[in-house]
Amino acid sequence: MRVWAVTGGLMCALLALAAVGVESSGDARRALAAVPADDLVGTAELEPAGTPPTPAEPAPRSGLADSQIEGQPGAVSLPVVQVADLGDVAGVIIPGKTTLSFISATGPTAYRSPASSGVQEVQAKYLLEQWSGSEWVIVAATDRLYGVIGAAQIGVVFNSADLRPNPVARGYWRVKWVFAWYSSGALLATTISTPDNIEAYVCITQARRCQPRAGWVETGGYLDNT
């Protein structure tokens, strides 16, 4: 596991990102107003209009920094993302019923913001993005997650990741981690972290080709190496 220390983030509206790729806090606020929170589900699926063409391969860093920051958030420890083929029965590959999944054995840890010494609430959201050939597009997202750091505590551990882009299961992918810190309802800080190291992803697929890259991972189709 690699620990990523960050010192800031984007506006808290980024926690409501869903159907489109958004990189600025202004766009995030518009997305938040347009998409009901109840529609943002952990295994959200976007069905394509047809079989997409093979996209151009993204650049290793895709033009993005490791993190985008605002305010004074605490450090964040991110888990390794495992790229897996999950069947209907745990550990069993069922022909035709395997789902490409981005999971983690543990959840991320968000540490206390230095901006407040009292009780802090931390909100989190995990986003799965696919490379379209020209930009990263969100294809799955978790619900908004909530955690509390007590006055005598140093951090909070969130749920593990489980993101599934079904029915799309071939292409280039990356996971974004979004966090926001609050004290008595007031926003202290936000951050988005996009790991750009090859160790951020581990392939454990059994039914498709999978190759980690620096900042993203590439997969083939079900029982297909292309």
Q: What is the mean pLDDT of residues 49-73?
A: 54
Q: Over 60: is that where the pLDDT of 44 sits? A: no
At residue 95, the pLDDT reads 60
User: Residue 85 and residue 87: Cα distance in Å, rounded?
Assistant: 7
Could you state, in order of their start, the residue ranges of all structural domains in the chain?
Answer: 3-12+42-47+55-219
Rounded to whole angstroms, the maximal C-alpha distance in the chain is 53
At residue 221, the pLDDT reads 80
Q: What is the mean pLDDT of residues 137-163?
A: 96
Least confident of 22-31, 136-145, 192-201: 22-31
Q: If DSSP codes are grouped into helix, strand and coil, which group holds residue 139?
A: strand
Stronger pLDDT, 222 or 5, i.e. the higher one = 222
Q: What is the mean pLDDT of residues 218-226?
A: 78
- C-alpha dihedral sign at 64, 138, 106, 159: positive
Q: If DSSP codes are grouped into helix, strand and coil, which group holds residue 16?
A: helix
pTM over 0.85? The answer is no
- Per-chain mean pLDDT for the chain: 74
Under the banding of pLDDT at 50, 70 and 90, the label for residue 92 is low
Question: Which helix (H) or strand (E) covers residue 155, if one does?
Answer: strand 155-157
Contacts of 33 (CB under 8 A, 6+ apart): none
What would the pLDDT profile of 95-119 be if each residue is shown by its tens digit?
666 788 999 999 999 999 999 999 9
Percentage of the chain beyond pLDDT 70 is 63
Chain length of the chain: 226
User: Residue 70 and residue 68: Cα distance in Å, rounded?
Assistant: 7
